[in-house]
Amino acid sequence: MGFYVPENVVTNDDLSKLMDTSDEWIRERTGIEQRRWVIPGEDSTSGMGVKAARIAIEKAGLKPNDIDFIIFATLSPDYYFPGPGVQVQEALGIDTIGALDVRNQCSGFVYALSVADQYIKTGMYNNILVIGSELHSGGLDKTTRGRGVTVIFGDGAGAAVVTASDDPNRGILSTHLHSEGKNAKELALIGPATSRWVDQIMAEHDEKDLSYYPYMNGNFVFKNAVTRFPEVIMEALNQNRLKPEDISLLVPHQANLRISQFIQKTMKLRDDQVYNNIMKYGNTTAASVPIALTEALENGRVKEGDIVCLAAFGSGFTWASALIRW
Ligand code: UT7
């Protein structure tokens, strides 16, 4: 595992200079104290992904050319197309291996991991690089109009190398994926899309067109998240005949600290069973699970044999979990 976040720290007080918000409001509603935002032009989603990937590959004791497949999850690609997977292949100087882009927003990393897991289990590939990376700051409305969305998002990247193991008792035990497209527009960025004709957009040239900023029905998303998270975690536990008390560490998508606390309470988990770092990085969407998991590993919170549960919920809606015996 490896992660990378930009050096530029943006505190809640920094945001209150841009818009009508306060440190108190942001902390109370989200638990976020600061986030990292790329200095404009200094990095990119693919660039941060590559930095996280280099660390993960080195920690795995491998060289870039040992990687035989790339999976890249993001909602904020450098380009509309192609997706950033190919940019990673180029930047790491890897041979012409396959590169797949996953578009599942906050659940992107767990979805990507499920794909890697299946390729490994069928024997198709041996060392798969899975990346979650987001550059949100370039696309947010940084005025008071956008405060309900903008204050929660941060930039960063996390990566994993998923490798075949001979030990049948270790590894990814199961993954569980869900979606509910009827809520697609409750958390979405509609603007730059083929559903809107480009020539029409150019002709309108409307500065009040807010469809270029992410829209989030915050309360609605929150209510769905606190139901779906426990559901999909229980699904993973039940399939493996385990109980909440068997979880060594739950690494939930860092959507909002209040959501994590709600899950912990509902599932009666102890503090040491749940990992949170949203206070430092905000919500980094597809990057949040691999960033948190890497940090948990570095802090000694995961040991061999532990039952680690990853879970995520977000735009789509999509939600997912993965249960791992470390
Ligand atoms: O990543 C996965 C998907 N995302 C999530 O899981 C996020 C889920 N939702 C949330 O985390 C919360 O809904 C938010 C943190 C985004 C918002 O919190 P909330 O408690 O749902 O606030 P709200 O949108 O109901 O707004 C309450 C009030 C409103 O004012 P009035 O109408 O009561 O006067 C907002 O205008 O707070 C106001 N407000 C703010 N005030 C200061 C909204 N954003 C801000 C802000 N600073 N940044």
pLDDT digit string, tens, across residues 160-189? 999 998 887 899 999 999 999 999 999 999
pLDDT above 80 for 205: no
Residue keyed to tokens 């989030």: 216
Cα distance between residue 104 and residue 108, in whole Å:
4
160: nearest Cα among 128, 122, 136, 120: 128
Using a 6 Å cutoff on CB, does residue 21 contact ligand 1? yes
The SS3 of residue 202 is helix
CA distance 309 to 248: 8
The domains of the chain, with CATH numbers, are: 2-163 (3.40.47.10), 171-325 (3.40.47.10)
- The atom of ligand 1 lying closest to the CA of 255 is 1
Is 309 labeled as catalytic in the residue annotation?
A: no
Cβ neighbours of residue 186 closer than 8 Å, sequence gap 6 or more: 216, 217, 220, 221, 317
**What's the helix, strand, coil split of the chain in %, to 5?**
45, 20, 35
Task: List the one residue out of 189, 188, 207, 164 whose CA is nearest residue 60.
Answer: 164
Q: Is 218 in the pocket of ligand 1 (CB under 6 A)?
A: yes
The verdict on whether 106 is a catalytic residue reads: yes
The reported pLDDT for the residue numbered 169 is 81
93-122: pLDDT as tens digits: 999 999 999 999 999 999 999 999 999 999
Helix (H) or strand (E) holding 175: strand 171-179
User: In this structure, which amino acid lies at residue 168?
Assistant: P
CB 45 within 8 A of CB 80: no
Kindly state if the Cβ of 254 falls inside 6 Å of ligand 1. Answer: no
Nearest alpha carbon, ligand 1 atom 30: 148
Position 146 scores a pLDDT of: 94
DSSP per-residue codes, 211-258? GGS-EE-HHHHHHHHHHHHHHHHHHHHHHTT--GGG-SEEEE--S-HH
Ligand 1: distance of its center to the CA of 21 in Å? 11
User: What is the model's pTM?
Assistant: 0.96
